[in-house]
Each structure stands twice: as structure tokens, then as C-alpha cells.
Structure 1
Amino acid sequence: MAGKKDRSFNYWSMNYKGKLRRTWVMLPICIIVGIIAPFWTASEYGSMMVGIVIDIVMAVVWVLQLLYNMRKAREEEQQELGQQSGSGQASPMSNAQYGGAAAAPAQNAQSSQSAQSYVQPIPVSNTSPSGTSAAAQTSPVPNPAQPYTVQTTATPDSKGFEQETSRLQMQMAYLAVSLLDGAAVADGRVRSVYVHAMVNKGQSAWDCFFRVGDSLVASGDLMKSMPQEPRSRFFASGRSLMDDYRNVCARYGIDAPTELRITYDPKNHGLHTDVSYDPIGDNDPFMAWASQVYQSFHA
């Protein structure tokens, strides 16, 4: 319902939330008309049955309109919460990119649990992750970042552990994809989805960014027009998934990683995950990975 108003005198110019409100406003009017109609038809036509028929038709139409507007209003709300709505997508999807003279410093994605976002595209730096890391591959999508060293822990039920952690990794990817417009995925504008989750000082953190052509777009660029509450809920859902990942590790007696780097192909549904057990240092590993990915496009 792009361009539609929440309140308007013209019923057809409103969004479904406004139409639902208007439907409820019409209920007292319909009741009054319904009471008057049988008496009026009895006076004019000598029969109350005509008025009763009018009442039945009016009641059925009102109920159908109410149910339809309720369903469409829910869909409208879900679309606003799960996707970048309207024309707000086109600008960052087609123009925003990391680096460049116009790029301004971004906010730290993990600095605040109540408002994690990037107001402008993330600048590129020469920062790179320190130390070695561990890799756990769930499907053969190539990772543009440098490969990590492999570290594994044998467990009696490694298959169950892999299934549960793979499911959580895929859920993280799906959460990131919820920001995208389906058309942008279908026509190939969005080429890759990058999800970053980490544990720093005992707290889980989560964020994502996207490859559009040879540019990278931050999650905050796709949520500029989104209210604060759904923005906070989006990142809280990501942190909750990372908490679940850590709980699965604890249940199987396996050390939880400090960092996950997930690369997802939204068109072919391929997923690849790099897992690091290195301590998180002073450098922001999310920014380091984003810079590394961006530089791989232009190597």
C-alpha cells in the first residue's frame, strides 16, 4: 500500500489499517440503519421483510469487509516489519556502497542493544582479523574472505550437533533475508547475504550486510524508514539465535565459537559458515570482515 494514507476522507486512498478503522466506525451507522430499515419498508411497501433482507445483506457485506481488511492489515504490518517498504529500498540497494570519499564513519553495530544500525554505508579500512580461526562448512558456497584454519571437537553425537547448528545458521540467514525485497533477489540485484554473529565479553552480538553488484549495503541502510521498535526487535532476534547456538554447544559439551561468518546465496539457497574461536580483540571483527569482503571484489 505504498503512498496510501493512514487517515483520509476518501476510503480508497487509505491503507488497510485505515480501512479497517473506517469499517469499525461504520458499525454504529449500520446498526442504526438496520433498526430503521424494517420500519421504513413496512411504511413504504407494506412489508417489513424487505427491510430485514436489506439488514441481512448489509450485515454480511460488513462482516466480509471487516475480515478482508483485518487480513490485509496484518499482511501490511508484517511487510513493513520484515522488509524495507516502498521506494526506500531502491536508493540504498542501487547506490549505497562501502568506502569512497563520500562515505562517513558508521556507528558500531554492537554498541547498543536498543538501536543497532548504520546510518550510512560502512567505510572500508585495511583492518584484518588477527590470529587464526576455525571453519565449519555447511554447503559449497565460496567465501570471499581468507580461509580459516580448521578446528574440530569430536563428540559422541556429532551428526546431531551439526544438524542443530546448521539449522540455526540457516535461520540467521533467513532473518537477514527478511530485510530484502523479493524482486531484488529474483532479478539478481542482491548477490550474497553476509551474517556476522559473535560473543564478546559474554554477550552475543549479531548483524548483517549484503552484496549488491560490486557494492556492499549495510542492514541499517535498508531500515532507515523503519520505526525503532521493529529495528530493535530485528537485532534482538539475531542475538537470540546466537544465544541458542551457544546453548547447543553447551548441551553437546563443545566450546562455543567467538565468531560466526555466514555467507548465503539467496537465489540458490547455498550457505557457507566460517567459525572462529579466537578471542575478540579491540578491532571490530564485523567491520574487518566487511572490509575484507569488499576488497575481494576489487582485487
Structure 2
Amino acid sequence: MSTATIEQTDAHLDDGPPPDARDRFYGLLPELVAADPRVAVVLAEIGASYLDPEKVAPVRDRVINLGIREQLLISTAGGLALAGLRPIVHTFAPFLLERPYEQVKLDLGHQDVGAVLVSAGGSYGWPAGGETHFGQRDVALLDTLSGWTVHVPGHADEAEEMLRDALRRDDRIYIRLDGLSNAAPGPVDGRMSVLRRGSRGTVVAVGPMADRTLAAVDGLDVTVLYASTVRPFDAGTLRRTLGAPDVVLVEPYLRDTSTAEVSRALGGIRHRTLGLGVGPDELRRYGTREQHDAAHGIDVEGIRRSVIDFLHP
């Protein structure tokens, strides 16, 4: 019999399909640009056709579509930031971070200017796009650079709040949008929240992994923490809530991306960590998102099997 208790009993109730964060993002953009003369949107074709032309018309001079030129996308954002604007930069994750990595490193980081990078597609949100459109390496890639805040919202409401807050700041922020969503939003104060309490270990569910993680550990005596901001990593909450020093990370991107963060957070404490997420091997079949999840072991059944094997060897 599990001794775990639910601390947020109404956090993930299903009242119908949750809103899509990317649709919310496109709907918000004209309003955000109109509300603040500092804000500019920079696109590389992706997303341009989803914007309402009538709503964009009054702020057309600050909605810039550069076409399929991703290096120029980031360089333009750097120039706008140097000129005192707050650029929102948007495309699929591999086009936003992998292809223009040098520009992200130099035109934003080296120049020490801010921008709000908003990706789409998650790790494989469009399976038919294949490897060119898969974005599971994004957070790990940003970990090689300094000064980035990384948000992984699990609900459209979280994404909107994060975006509005990001526009009030001047630093470098990455908001990772995914077609997946939890049934209800969680807090977005940068700290992990406690979804369940248990004594046999801790499971950290990141962004849209929360609902499936709760389903996966049903009946197991574990604490579940929810993280919608992963950089900076909330070491304090992890340490304060730690029971048994066994930690499972459930991340919607490259497996073990945050394993080193857990090790730093638990420095001086003997512990074990299991990282779950998208594996490094390329799956050379399109399939469906659900099939990719199952192949990487981050569907409900795969998460449950891994947690049980790890905590009960």
C-alpha cells in the first residue's frame, strides 16, 4: 500500500482538451507588439502564415519575416537588442538553436544582449518532418552557454505568463513550446512544485510530462515534483523535499539533460539518479508521436517500468 499523498488534488483534472500553447502564442503576438513599442517579432518563415493579417497590420513594421534564413534570424535579433528593442524570435527548435548556434553564442551571448527565443514542435511534435525538424537537443545545447533562462511550460496558460514576464525583462530567455499539454496549468514562479509526497524516492516531471508521470507512478510511494522552469535548476526544492536519495528525471527532450544539475543540487549527499527522456539514437521511421514516446520509454508504461526497476532493483 502506498503512503504517498496528493498535495495538489485539483492540479490535473481533465475538463476537456487543453489549449495548444503554439496557437495561444500566435494569437498573443499582435497584442504584445502593440502594447510595447520595444517589442519586435522576428520570424524565419515558420509561423508567418498563422498570424492574423488584420491584427498584425497596425504593427507590421515590428513583425519581420526574414524567410528561411536562420543565421540571419538570430543576428537580426542581436541587432535589434543592441538598438534597445526586445525581440521575440520564433521557429522550430533545430532552426532556432542548432543551425544558428554560432550566432546564438556570439550575436546574443558574446554581445551580452537579451532576446526571447520561442521554439515550436518540441522534440518530435511533427513526426513526418523527420530528423531535420526534431528538437530534442535544444536544452542540452543551451547548457553549453551561460546566462540563459529556460522555460518548459506544460500548459498554454503557463506559456503565456512566461512570455509576458519575459518581455518585461532584458535577459536571454528560451521558451520551449510543445503540442503536448497537461490538463491544467501549474505555478510559474521558477520553483518546482510538489504534486505528490512519498518516501521511496523523488520523480521530477518536466513541463508536459507531468500528467503522464502522475499516471505512471499511481500507487507508488514516491514524491513527484513539477518543473516548468529548468534553468536555473531549482536545487533548493529538490533538497528540501528529498526523502530517499533516489531521483528520477522525466524530461521531454534529450535523456540525462539535467542529470548533472541533480548531481550539483545534491552535492555532499550520496544519491542515485535515473534520467528518462529522448534517447540519443536516431529512429529512422516517421511513425506517430505516441510511437516515438513508446520507443524512448517516456509513455506512461515506459516511465512506470523504469521507475519501478530503478527503485526496486
Question: TM class by shorter-chain length?
Answer: under 0.3
Greater RCO structure (CA 8 Å; 6+ sep): 1
Task: From the two aligned structures, give the one with the greater helix fraction.
Answer: 1
What TM-score, normalized by structure 1, do the two folds share?
A: 0.27
